[in-house]
Amino acid sequence: MKKIVTSAVGLSMAASLAMPFAAFADEPAVQPVATSTAVSQACTDRTMNWEMNYDQRQVDLADKLSKDRADQDSRIAQRRSDADANLLKKRGDADAARATAREKQDERLAGKNPSDAVKAALTTYRAAIDAAITARKASVDKADADFRSATDAALTTRRNAIDAAITARKAAIDAAEAAWKTRCGGSAADRQAANKAFRDAVSAARSTFYTSVSDAEKAYQSATGPARDARKAAIQSAMTTFQSAVKAAQDALKAAKSAS
């Protein structure tokens, strides 16, 4: 299955948190001449600006995540629809070719005036082939359905893990911000210390988020890889069983012809 984009979206969401601190990263230890009210108001204004920018980023990134997932779902659905249509066409072509071949075979046999035993053996042979084809189709369809079910489950699990990581990251940043917002009534040194603590908290939240997204991607690959292998093995087994059934039917037909 084609790699999905949710992980990339998650990582871009984490990366977007890298630039909220420039406005107050290095407050001077000694403030210019100004009233304490003006200094506090300037600090409050910077805080409000950060909050508005942060909130808007979260809205934009949530919209992007939703759109990317919808686009991914659309691609998956289209890919499956195309695969189903291609398989249906191949099967239809094979059925038509088999019907044509049988008509020609009947025409040839009609000129040879075959015995009733040969006619019966041919009918049995064709029934065996039809049954083998039906069984093969059912096995292939089940292999495809099982694979799709497994990948859908893995995709849901990955998305849920990323959603949980987003929620955890927001909770960590919100908690850090609540403490950071109280700095405006303190000294310049207090504000510098609060800024650093806030940067460190957001950096830790980002790091944890990156790790969670990476773990979600690894879990997805661990689930879909074996599912893909299982599908391949099931289809190969179906083909082997089909070939064995065809050979057995052919041998039975030859034996019947020889006996007659």
What pLDDT is attached to residue 101?
96
Q: Is 60 part of a structural domain of the chain?
A: yes
The answer to whether position 208 is within a domain reads: yes
Which residues in 100-109 are b (16+ Cβ under 10 Å) and which e? eeeeeeeeee
Domain assignment of residue 168, yes or no: yes
* DSSP label at residue 18: G
The answer to whether residue 50 is domain-embedded is: yes
Position 2 scores a pLDDT of: 38
Q: Does any domain span residue 80? A: yes
pLDDT of residue 25: 44
Neighbours of 6 (CB within 10 A): 22
Residue-by-residue pLDDT tens, the chain, 260 positions: 334 334 444 455 444 444 444 444 444 444 444 567 888 889 999 999 999 999 999 999 999 999 999 999 999 999 999 999 999 999 999 999 999 999 999 998 888 888 889 899 999 999 999 999 999 999 999 999 999 999 999 999 999 999 999 999 999 999 999 999 999 988 889 999 999 999 999 999 999 999 999 999 999 999 999 999 999 999 999 999 999 999 999 999 999 888 87
* pTM reported for the whole predicted model: 0.79
* C-alpha distances out from residue 149 to 24, 61, 127, 160, 254, Å: 50, 29, 33, 16, 43
The pLDDT of residue 35:
61
Question: For residue 89, what are the domain limits?
Answer: 39-259
Number of domains into which the chain is organized? 1
In a domain, 171, yes or no: yes
Q: In whole angstroms, what is the distance from residue 103 CA to residue 246 CA?
A: 19
Residue type, 109: L
- Rounded to 5°, the CA angle 207-209-213 comes to 120
Is residue 32 domain-resident? no
Q: Mutual orientation of helices 188-259 and 116-180 as an angle, nearest 10°? A: 180
- Residue 238 falls inside a structural domain: yes
